[in-house]
Amino acid sequence: MFKLDKNSPLPIYFQIQEILKEKISSGEWNPGERIPSEQALSEMLNVSRMTIRQALNNLVKESLISRKRGIGTFVSVKDGIEVEESLQALRSFSEDISSIGMTPTNKLLGFSTTEADEYLAEVLSIECGSEVFKIERCRLANEHPIAIETTYIPKYLVNRIDEQVLNHSLYEYFEVSLGYSIKKATKWIKASLMSESDSLILEVAEESPALELHQITYINDDVPLEYVSCIYRADRYRFTIDIERT
């Protein structure tokens, strides 16, 4: 039974979302099951549809439910995909996914040659206006979307990039085909929210939690080889590091 306390200091929408969470966690509503419509919940609880919608939107952001346009709202089905990356080792996305027994694949979203703006010129240690390759890819593990990755590479270091390179590991291309020795990388990570365009590609709700990673990768003599900007699904990817007190 639904039970609301309208005298409680807790907002009504919050009480509703907690009630719905309990129905999911208890197994009363099973993964993949369609839940009552906004109208039905509004009538059951004697509250406005706007209040119901606010509660449901919060559950969508937590990936507990998902909407299918024209069909209804369903309890999310967990696929069990979770990737862990150690920040103590410099490995490519493909190497990380392969190391846990999953198959890495890419979906090419865009490939072009562009001119470096002031920021790219700074992080890649090149002149403003220099030509760089821009590669946009959706990274997948066992066909499940994990991240959207945008990579910038100075053209003077890599004269040509073809379709075969774009669909495989760039690190393998750098090291095996071009003979570069990747030495180190600088990474910084922050919490973020999914934009509307990213959420569509990564199959999550808009403003879902995301991890935003930026990286500069260096070859011999501290020469920047690439700058990478990446948006990860926070429910499918996590970073770990072992540290010691000094």
Q: Give the CATH number, domain containing residue 195.
A: 3.40.1410.10
- Are the C-beta atoms of residues 195 and 206 closer than 8 Å to each other? yes
Both 114 and 18 in one domain: the answer is no
Mean pLDDT of the chain: 89
Distance, in Å, from the CA atom of 80 to the CA atom of 75, rounded to the nearest integer, reads 15
Spatial contact of 55 and 20, defined as CB atoms under 8 Å apart: yes
Q: What is the mean pLDDT of residues 213-218?
A: 96
Backbone torsions φ then ψ of 70, nearest 5 degrees: 80, -5
pLDDT in tens, 129-155: 999 999 999 999 888 899 999 999 999
- Band of the pLDDT at 190, cuts 50, 70, 90? very high
Q: Does residue 96 contact residue 85 with C-beta atoms inside 8 Å?
A: yes
Query: Range of 153's domain?
Result: 83-240
Asked if residue 1 is part of any domain, the answer here is no
The CATH number given to whatever domain includes residue 46 is: 1.10.10.10
Query: Which residue pairs from 178-182 have beta carbons closer than 8 angstroms and sit at least 24 positions apart in sequence?
Result: 180/219, 180/220, 180/225, 181/219, 181/220, 182/90, 182/217, 182/218, 182/219, 182/225
- 50 burial (CB, 10 Å; 0-12 / 13-18 / 19+) is exposed
Chain segment 76-129, per-residue pLDDT in tens: 766 666 777 878 888 888 888 887 778 889 999 999 999 999 999 999 999 999
Q: Report the C-alpha gap between 48 and 31 in whole angstroms.
A: 26
For the chain, report the end-to-end CA distance as a whole number of angstroms. 55
Final residue in a domain of this structure, among 53, 75, 97: 75
pLDDT value at position 30? 81
Coil/strand/helix, residue 175: helix
Together in a domain, 113 and 45: no
The answer on 46 and 92 residing in a single domain is: no
Give the pLDDT score at 225. 97
Cα distance between residue 160 and residue 181, in whole Å: 18
Q: What is the predicted pLDDT for the residue at 1?
A: 56
